[in-house]
Structure 1
Amino acid sequence: LVMVFYGSNGKSNPVSMENKVEHQAKNQITHDIYLPSDLGMLYKVRLGLQSLESSTSQLFLCHLKMQNTSTLDTFSLTINKTLPLSLNGDRWVEFPVEWPLKEALSVVTYHLTVFSRNILSERILVHMTACIYGAHGDTGDRSLLWSLQNVQQREDNESFLVMVEAVELGELDKVVLLISSKTDCKLDIKKLHLKEALKEYPIYVFEVNEAFYVEENKPEIEKEIPVSFVIRGDKQKNDLDNNFHREGGQAGNLTEYTIKVYTGDQRGSGTDANVHIILFGNEDKSEAFQLSQSLEHQDPFERGKVDTFKVKTKNVGSLHSIEIGHDGKGF
């Protein structure tokens, strides 16, 4: 059993729960923990198993009480969870540290969708974890292939959803993947989508577009993926305008683009999904815009139709490419 502490001055290394105090009550274990540096005001603790081995037995956590022996600050929490979590095989639980007269962070569930080409066919032999980083720390390494939701497979294209429960991270920054395998294989990962389960937006998009060649019994591959862009839905334009006002920009600094989308007339060509576009120029790239308000049709992207959209963005220079995609929802 290990713990990781997060404070205003940083986070601790995993602390092993080895130093037991004698004269313990039944079903209660007391540990002395020594931190090598002052972490400042604690705001989050992660508690879990050092690793998930085949011989690992389940551990039921009922209640946690922490006390700073110098200041006598005391924190108490009812947990009532079993590790590893049976629903998704997660070996960690996180909880915020609550201080009087100070608003604590919340525990949220993140939906991490992985878009790939061949991971599902190799999942039995592959071990892959993701550590999500944000303004309020990180999630630690979480397994991606233990319990999958919303699995979709097509020829040369697949996606699956993983749920991660953690103390809210705030604005997301990057994801670090760790990949290892029991046999030689190649994993082709396209991108990651990440959002809070109870919110439709924002969706953080992490572009990968890389094939990983994993060798048997070789050190695991570590890949750091910074956020590529953020889809903020219908509020995108307002967010962009607000950014310009905060930075002292004027409406005249925005460039308006007219975008025409021609939907094919073959069966199944239309979509009800949320479609986004990003403009790339020789000086910069735009934010991700959701194409939702067609000038011609109330329901855009119907089979055989043409939709026109107008977007305003900062000056990106001479356009050389675009990215257009959707979130796969609807039909």
Structure 2
Amino acid sequence: MVLEAIHYRRGELSILNQLLLPQSAQYETLGGVRDAWHAIRDMKVRGAPAIAAVGCLSLAVELVHKDFSTTEEVAEFVHEKLQCLVSARPTAVNMAREAQELEVVFREMIRKEGSTATGVRDWLVTKIEGIPERDIQVNRNIGQHGARHIIARARDQKVVILTHCNTGALATCGYGTALGVVRALHEAGTLERVYCTETRPYNQGARLTAYELVAEGIPGTLLADSAVAFAMAQKKITAVVVGADRIVANGDVANKLGTFSLALAAHYHQIPFYVAAPSSSWDPKLPCGSSVVIEERTAAELTHINGQRIAAQGIDVWNPAFDITPVNLITGGIITELGVFPAANLTAAMLVSKS
């Protein structure tokens, strides 16, 4: 059973509120873009692919229920809503990429002779509705490419994977990116075990990845973030596989805080370190990791647990949501739906693949 984080049918959108997991699985209706913005910002939905899908689908919900007089009016409305959605969590690039691509093809549609406001609105709704199916297929391809690469390096031995944060069905439209690789290994009968970190301070690993592993019968073990280096020394880890919120031109990767630490530990222990992400996470406009705007979250995420203060009153807090893993530490490669590429060669490979 693959969990479903997003439910959509024309004019209606609901999401599994991930703040309530694993204690309660409740779906929450999103009436439009403003609701989606808050759900994304508050992390009721998270994971770069899921953020992009929920954002775009929330726009489709509004479009279905709104009439327009001119194509220019539709264009202005769509542009304003997409810019709003992009601002919710700026570090992840997928929403911005979807917004850019939708606007480009949408404006081409408007320029066609005989286009009408109703026609271009309905066309855009249909195009947005194709995002979930496309995302699932991309994830399945990522899983297959990653599994084959890891199995080949392991010489057909059972593999043990270490992963970070949540990159499964809950973070996407289904199947997952890094956890999709784990799922593909499990389906192939080659996965011995996956170790998942708790992923403080939001505990996406403990609350969400562990929830997925148990629900789907995948052999998994939860460990503290601070135990990863020792786990690498003790547990015969075959490879580390993580996701990405943004991969820049030189191959540096922005991902959930703690990824950089895992990469350093993996490098010390000579364990291959992989990043699994769709090509939509590639951002060639930014030259290197230092160019990425890192989102900083509220202090309460560190000072409180379930509403209870655990830190001394008055202590200063620095709570970045992401860190940057340098390209030279991504020793296994970057797994995309197009194949597995050396991190330093990703931009060249993407340009060839998309030409």
Q: Relative contact order: is structure 1 or structure 2 higher (C-alpha 8 Å, sep ≥ 6)?
A: 2
The TM-score range, normalised by the shorter chain, is under 0.3
Higher percent of residues as strand: 1
- From the CA coordinates, give the structure whose radius of gyration is larger: 1
Question: TM-score normalised to the size of structure 1?
Answer: 0.24
So what's the TM-score if we normalise by structure 2?
A: 0.23
More helix by share: 2
